[in-house]
Amino acid sequence: MLFVGALGSSACHHSHPASDARPAEDVPDGGAELSHPAPDARPAEDVPDGGAELPAQFPEDEALSLPDAGLDSGGTPVQGTVLAMAWGRGAPGRTVVVAGQRTVTDSRGGFSFEYVPPTYDAMVAEPDGMQISVYYGLTRRDPILSHISTYTTALDEPPHTATVSGTLSGDFPFPVDSYHLAAIYYFADRGAVTWHLGQPFRSAGPDYGPVQVKWVGDSKVAGTLAALGQIGTEERHWTNAYLASASLPLAEGDLVTQDLVLSAVPTGRIAGTIQMYQGNGVEAVLLSYHIPGKSGRISLDQCATTGRFDCELPDLSALGGDYCASIVDVFGYAQATRCGGAIGMTDFSIQVVAPPQFKSPVTGTPTSKGSRLTWGGVQNAVFLLEIGPDFPTPNAPIVRAYTSATQLRWPDLQAMGIAFLGGSTYTCQVSALLPYASIDDLASSHGPAAMGVDRQQLDSNTIELPLVN
């Protein structure tokens, strides 16, 4: 079948690809998050401590808080962007605090500060204050801050819309049916959409649409319209494949008719191995196709595997992109994606390293706002510490703290006007994000919100910490 899927992350209770992925409805990035439950806990593993302790700019006996930077303290400008993790676009209307200075992101998710010290921390908060990202120890002057956005306000609705309709013709037979499928894709740098023929209340072909294309930024966008047809069986998903594509610039309010001619394209195979760390296993690999510089992806197939995979896929090289492979692990603790695949590869392999585990405190330990959490290191990784209650509030938000260190004190959110309330229990998890050489590398164009790049997120077991005043 044609599958639509995307890796993502959510606070304290992570989302991972599922082994029973199925077509999704239209979503802003052309994909849908797929959930895979994880067990409550698993035995900690002894992994090498490859991380630093505390960064030099943070004295060991002081809480990690955001220092003030007055206009007379020197510094140079910082111009950055907040990207929504789930859909990879700029997140407008988010509060950003850098070195004690505050602003709100513009319509593209951009922010700027004139005076910022050489090393600084940054916070990003949702409009309701219940989701906060913290980046410790940045030095780059053009940070791209990936942030979990909740898509709960009109701020996240792309401001520009055009409508595309048309007719498919060519070699592909209609109407669509089970294992006889077709889908329309529009890919641009600032938006993407997927439209499946034959879904409830939609045409079974050859007519398609109306497809609403939405995007951010300028009122005009240049993109690619593509159609992919699939004929297969339960045993062999891609016996025949059909492809059409056309460049299609759009402007706000356009009502466009664009016909496409589907032509048969060959199928081929991509093979490789998934090497999981000891104590975990792999159930399947998800194959997708990504076009560089474009949002969205074409999710193609799911191949069951216990280590070695060999998948038959349509040859989509005419679109100018490459294939990505993402794992579905047994316990839901690991996300790993490798891109750059091509038809005919036999060594398109992924090696998944062991996740970090907490050293202290242990679950159930009463914790104060000055308490320090420590964990084991992982080479070539930056760490994500997630802290959140079962029911977040503006005074008990979900916090995601990014650091190159292997320990942090309880996040100090005074710069956001937030004081954690005692008497609540918080779920904590630490994840290794790789491959990233530093926190500055993480806050770059190939950070967690980027599409079509190699990445891994490896999650520890969770611990429960009651916070006392």
Peptide bond connecting 200 to the previous residue in cis, omega within 30 degrees of 0? no
> Percentages helix, strand, coil for the chain, rounded to the nearest 5?
5, 45, 50
110 located within any domain:
no
357 located within any domain:
no
Across the range 234-263, mean pLDDT stands at 96
Give the integer Cα–Cα distance in Å for 22 and 6. Answer: 12
With beta carbons less than 8 A apart as the criterion, state whether 158 and 461 touch.
no
The secondary structure of residue 196, as a DSSP letter, is: E
Phi, psi of 369 (to 5 degrees): -70, -15
Domain hosting 210: range is: 156-265
With beta carbons less than 8 A apart as the criterion, state whether 258 and 207 touch.
no
Across the range 253-266, mean pLDDT stands at 98
Q: Please count the structural domains in the chain.
A: 2
Least confident window among 103-107, 111-115, 358-362, 450-454: 450-454
Indicate if 234 and 216 belong to the same structural domain.
yes
Q: What is the pLDDT of residue 322?
A: 97
Give the integer Cα–Cα distance in Å for 31 and 17. Answer: 11
Among residues 383, 369, 371, the alpha carbon closest in space to that of 418 is found at 369
Q: Which amino acid is at 464?
A: E
370 located within any domain:
no
Of 235, 265, 295, which residue constitutes the final position of a domain? 265
Indicate if 325 and 342 belong to the same structural domain.
yes
Across the range 88-94, mean pLDDT stands at 86
116 located within any domain:
no
Q: Which helix (H) or strand (E) holds 166?
A: strand 160-170
| Percent of the chain whose predicted confidence (pLDDT) is above 90 | 63
Q: What is the pLDDT of residue 303?
A: 92
Indicate if 241 and 301 belong to the same structural domain.
no
pLDDT tens sequence across 370-417: 899 999 999 999 999 999 988 888 888 899 999 999 999 988 888 888
With beta carbons less than 8 A apart as the criterion, state whether 228 and 183 touch.
yes
Give the torsion through C-alpha atoms of 406, 101, 117, 138, to 10 deg: 30
Of 204, 230, 265, which residue constitutes the final position of a domain? 265
Q: Which helix (H) or strand (E) holds 249?
A: strand 240-251
State pTM to two decimals.
Answer: 0.81
pLDDT tens sequence across 330-342: 988 999 999 999 9
Q: Which amino acid is at 293?
A: G
Indicate if 241 and 277 belong to the same structural domain.
no
CATH of the domain at 322: 2.60.40
Q: What is the pLDDT of residue 130?
A: 87
441 located within any domain:
no
pLDDT tens sequence across 188-199: 988 899 999 998
pLDDT band of residue 74 (cuts 50, 70, 90) is low
164 located within any domain:
yes
